[in-house]
Structure 1
Amino acid sequence: MISRILAAIALFAAFSCQPAEQKPQKPNIVLILADDLGYGEVGFNGQKLIKTPHMDALAASGKIFTNHYTAAPVCAPARGMILTGLHSGHAYIRGNDEWRERGEVWDYAKAAADPNLEGQRPLPAETQTIAKILQQNGYKTALVGKWGLGGPLSEGIPTNLGFDYFFGYNCQRQAHNLYPPHLWENETKVSLNNELIVPGTKLDSLLDPMNLDSYAKYFQPDYAPDVMHQKALSFLEENSEQPFFLYYASPLPHLPLQAPKELIMEYVEIFGEEDPYDGSKGYFPARYPRATYAAMISLLDQQIGELRKKVEEIGQLENTIFILTSDNGPSYTGGVDFEFFDSSAPFSNGYGRTKGFVYEGGIRVPMVVNWPGKVDAGTQSDHASVFYDLMPTFCELIGVAVPDKTDGKSFLPAILGQEQEPHDYLYWEFPEYGGQQAVRMGQWKAVRQKLKEGVIQTELYDLSSDPQEQNDVSDQYPEILSQLEEIMKNEHQTSSIERFQIPVLDM
């Protein structure tokens, strides 16, 4: 009897010593969203003048998506549609809305002092977001960078919409200064060691505009991109033992032209002398505008390299998927020399064709996915994907059901090199810059402009032969045109916000 008991104890001990079967760890996600970074401004898409070695390395060891699109050609709606998985015919936020009924929201100094004037129109707190889905499934979630989807005292703050941690600019207008007087950490206003310099402040007329020292007041102690970057690195360090989602929404290279002097001077040595930018259009002046812009992109590149290094240091590199993209096409103002850098190559450059517009230069954006051991290194995909695909993609990635209310389609198969079902079409509408619509269906792209003037005229382009959208062939393919116009009609729903309504589409 005793021997049987001893045998049973030994058997129990043997089983109890065996490790329990462990479930595969959910992959960490690092989503890097550049601000106004053009399709042609990165080395892996052909840029020759600006150094982006870390982005290029991410591409070389990962997969480039050559047909990736933002969901809107400006900041706030693009960010909202990433989070909600809805296109601009269904989304709540469809444009930049400064929520002007509050008061003097465009007065930078007043808004810096009064959080009631800061921030944009808020997403409702009950909105379903990518961050909420990940948070509810065991992820620690953080947003570091620029928000733009609800003022500090509104319901639409990051910590109400799925983020455990937030540090950065709540307000897009306040981000028009990269040496701001404050940033936000969750619901707390954090003062920086910077004087208040209002965007648009001109160079003193008594100072020599050709002397870099004359621009001293535009360089201050606390450079927001650096301050925010350290918070992102700390988040990674502190959350290495559980799945994490870091949404790194950098303000770079969005204007104003401000960068660390040492990086600027590196490009001055390359580019040589240039005329200063006088600070018109509401931005700060800059002694070396081209060199400064290139330095901003190179700084972003360095920070991306540091993020990846930190993930490697905490032992999570092989279990982390990195996604790098941009919120919309490049700027055309504020001292940015888009012709010098060929910012939208191979698409059209300049006002009317880049940021703010639904032509390819405004909505086709750089895109790289990197996941060691899962994504084939040095590959490309021509699958047409878009921001509102990220929600279903992340849901499939972590094995949860996709919300019923989404316009996206998971492109995880394309990421992993598997057979991918294409979209039937992609849809955009944009109530700003005159009111616009666009549809892409395979090689075909339909565009409407000036809808706020009450006239509907549809252009048609064959992107396979005309990626710059120079030759309107609407009169040659009436059946294709009719099909795309029907999509435009069906995908539009009237916005509940008057500012986002396009009356001619609701007639």
Structure 2
Amino acid sequence: MRKTILTAIIVSICLFSCSTDQKSESVKPNIILVFTDDFGYGDMGAMFQNKRGEENKRNNPWAFTPKLDILAQEGALLPQQYCAAPVCAPSRGSLLTGLSQGHANVRDNQFDKALADNHTLGTVLQAAGYNTAAFGKWGIQGKGKGPDWPAHPNKRGFDYYYGYIRHGDGHEHYPKEGVYRGRKEVYEDYNEVSAGLDKCYTADLWTAAAKQWIIDQKQDKEADKPFFVYLAFDTPHAVLELPTQAYPEGGGLKGGLQWLGEAGHMINTASGEVDSYIHPDYMNATWDDDNNQDTPEVPWPDVYKRYATSTRRIDDAVGDLVQLLKDLDIDENTVIIFASDNGPSKESYLEEGYSPEFFQSYGPFDGIKRDCMEGGIRVPVVAWWPRKIPAGQIINTPSISYDWLPTFAEIAGVPAPVNTNGVSLVPSLTGGGEQKEGLVYVEYFQKGNTPKYADFTEEHQGRRRNQMQMIRFGDLVGLRYDIQSHNDDFQIFNVNNDPQQTTNLALNMGMDLVQQEMKDKVLQSRRPDATAPRPYDNELIPAVKSNNQLPGIKWAFYPGQFPWVPDVSGLSEEKRGIVEKLVFEGIPDEQNGVVCFSGYIKAPADGEYQLKMDAKSNAFLKLHGCNVIDEDYGYSAGEIRSETIRLQAGMHPFQLYYLCKKGSQPKINLRWSGPEISDQQIPSTVFFMD
């Protein structure tokens, strides 16, 4: 495997040394993120399948994930984590950018759309001094081919890439033979390399490639840097092809999957018969198909043997990676996160149909892939970090996949970019510090209906989807399906007591305040996107009630040399003060750092406002939880950026961040126009504070 040379820009970023990071490069933990395709909450043994096995009901078959179960025993389960969207492209886009579906540019079913050119897991960790690599399924590259793809992984923060670029390629698990979906293309960086991939089952191929890359990193003494691996499987999705043979014995350096690097024999399982191997645990498995103990059991249908073998292959791959870390003596300084992109699918590209009912892959919930009910968006998650994450921990803090960007940033010793909608989960994972409450929010559109599965409550069987929305407040989930307007009420469920969402608490006395809070919060936490229209896009963002209407703006200064405008929640302020308007009076001007102005902007009337901002340095404006003006990533000093936003008359909390640079006089200009307001600098008379 060849090494990818960093561009001059990335080199300059990587040389950055953040003042908040007191650790040397050599002790920063490595990070491995394993992301699967359509692996349901109920597919993991420790989450659900083991319970089915313990019940031993012969009409309820079960499968095994022993290596993942060990990972969970040695680390933590996160049974309350959600994916950002119930289908792969937007889910992966939000994961990589740390943005919710209320801010990400890849939404709904926008497969192969170019991921926005902004901060990603890759760019953030590169800046923290990491070597970065992505393996497997991408699917958010944009139009073009080879170097022309605008959002190729090499252009979104990954030094090295090996895998399927296009979304559709991930629907075939033998790229050269193309057994069921035709031949596909595999890229190493910008080079198409499928010609040499005879008999390479993709789950094996991506794992072997990732193992070899990790080995190369640790054997290259000149590149003594931590690494980040994004291992994105395209299995067990849909085509349900089988490996060529049993998983090689052992694991790590000398066992398990091995990268051979020879055309026609690229990995050590590139032999035998394509699409042939069924795991022995399932080869002769039988079940009580008619729920009648007096009749003989029958063999599992072939399609379910295939599915169980596919998930078991991923399980073996995770165990192989763990052994590699041990062999390299880096296991105690490596974080592994295992997760899935969405709930289980009912798709099958084989002649034999498939249903997630067989293993109850949606777990104790209703809904599957493309649903915003719990079964479509609750995903299996394991976090492993020896000596840091207490063994056997169950973390019941509600969280969502875009929380991983700020989490990895904290692990790497840098503050997250301020544009993220997530929060760091390090306090929950390690038991140290106070966990900040995050935003768990999903929006999605898909024509169609929830399947009529007998496991689902009658109300949910055949439910019309269309526009859907979900938000979580503590134990309560607000859910809307087939949304016609913002006036539609949320159904409200306590999902801890009622995982199938059968009892709508919105009908109870006193829930009208929660209902209104949910309706307000979703508008205050998102921005419209013309490519994914919603029936609530033109609603006014609700103002907040503020009894204290003191004139002025608060500011706080956080010293440090930052590579971007940082989220300041984990930083220590050095100085604070109050100003009447957006000026830098009293703020240190001979130090590197970031200043955060905060308070309220009072909109004088309902209507549409255009905000314009230009700054001498990087800056960022937020209203409520909305990212409004981004003058951070790719910003040129003095450039004017603007945004139109619809505001209800009244108070709107804001935070304006400015990156101070030593020796440069700070300057920012914030203007607006709106109902009966001509274009002008926002006057001091509309700024208030608590």
Match of residue 249 from structure 1:
232
* Alignment partner of 1:268 out of 272, 278, 283: 283
**TM-score scaled to structure 2, two decimals?**
0.59
Please tell me whether residue 372 in structure 1 is matched to residue 386 in structure 2.
Answer: yes
Secondary structure class of the residue paired with 2:358? helix
424 and 307 in structure 1: CA distance in 2 versus 1, 3 angstrom threshold: closer
23 and 258 in structure 1: CA distance in 2 versus 1, 3 angstrom threshold: closer
Match of residue 193 from structure 2:
190
Match of residue 3 from structure 2:
none
Match of residue 391 from structure 1:
405
1:313-352 Cα shifts (integer Å, max 9, x gaps): 122111101111111111123233322201111112xxxx
> Which deviates further from its counterpart, 126-135 or 328-337?
328-337
Query: How does 1:350-429 map onto structure 2 within 5 Å?
Result: 353-423=367-437, 425-429=439-443
Please tell me whether residue 137 in structure 1 is matched to residue 137 in structure 2.
Answer: no
CA contact (8 A) 2:423 2:438 kept: no
Please tell me whether residue 446 in structure 1 is matched to residue 478 in structure 2.
Answer: yes
For residues 44 and 26 of structure 2, what CA distance do their matches in structure 1 show? 35
CA contact (8 A) 1:53 1:301 kept: yes
Ranked by relative contact order (alpha carbons within 8 Å, sequence separation 6 or more), the top structure is 1
CA offset at residue 137 of structure 1?
2.1
CA offset at residue 27 of structure 1?
0.4
1:359-380 Cα shifts (integer Å, max 9, x gaps): 1111111111111111111111
For residues 465 and 51 of structure 1, what CA distance do their matches in structure 2 show? 27
CA offset at residue 272 of structure 1?
6.8
CA contact (8 A) 1:271 1:291 kept: no
Please tell me whether residue 488 in structure 1 is matched to residue 522 in structure 2.
Answer: yes
CA contact (8 A) 1:32 1:323 kept: yes
For residues 270 and 192 of structure 1, what CA distance do their matches in structure 2 show? 37
CA contact (8 A) 1:85 1:406 kept: yes
> Which deviates further from its counterpart, 443-452 or 67-76?
443-452
Of all paired residues, the percent bearing the same amino acid is 32
* Alignment partner of 1:176 out of 158, 171, 179: 171
For residues 206 and 524 of structure 2, what CA distance do their matches in structure 1 show? 42
CA contact (8 A) 2:140 2:167 kept: no
For residues 366 and 22 of structure 1, what CA distance do their matches in structure 2 show? 33
Query: C-alpha root-mean-square deviation of aligned residues, in Å?
Result: 2.3
Aligned length: 424
**TM-score scaled to structure 1, two decimals?**
0.79
* Alignment partner of 2:355 out of 316, 321, 337: 337
* Alignment partner of 1:228 out of 206, 210, 217: 206
CA offset at residue 34 of structure 1?
1.2
Query: How does 1:301-312 map onto structure 2 within 5 Å?
Result: 301-312=315-326
Match of residue 299 from structure 1:
313
Match of residue 29 from structure 1:
31
Q: Which has the higher strand share?
A: 2
Q: 5+ unaligned residues in a row in structure 1: which ranges?
A: 1-20, 99-119, 195-219, 275-285
CA contact (8 A) 2:206 2:231 kept: no
CA contact (8 A) 2:407 2:423 kept: yes
CA offset at residue 94 of structure 1?
1.4
Query: Amino acid of the residue matched to residue 187 of structure 1?
Result: Y
393 and 178 in structure 1: CA distance in 2 versus 1, 3 angstrom threshold: same
Match of residue 215 from structure 1:
none
Query: How does 1:1-40 map onto structure 2 within 5 Å?
Result: 25-40=27-42
CA contact (8 A) 1:89 1:429 kept: yes
Query: Amino acid of the residue matched to residue 26 of structure 1?
Result: K
Match of residue 115 from structure 2:
123
Query: Amino acid of the residue matched to residue 527 of structure 2?
Result: Q
CA offset at residue 501 of structure 1?
1.6
For residues 68 and 199 of structure 2, what CA distance do their matches in structure 1 show? 27
Query: Amino acid of the residue matched to residue 133 of structure 2?
Result: A
CA contact (8 A) 1:329 1:365 kept: yes
For residues 94 and 22 of structure 1, what CA distance do their matches in structure 2 show? 39
CA contact (8 A) 2:173 2:235 kept: no
Match of residue 41 from structure 1:
43
Match of residue 93 from structure 1:
106
CA contact (8 A) 2:340 2:380 kept: yes
CA offset at residue 492 of structure 1?
2.6
Query: Amino acid of the residue matched to residue 390 of structure 1?
Result: W
For residues 165 and 528 of structure 2, what CA distance do their matches in structure 1 show? 28
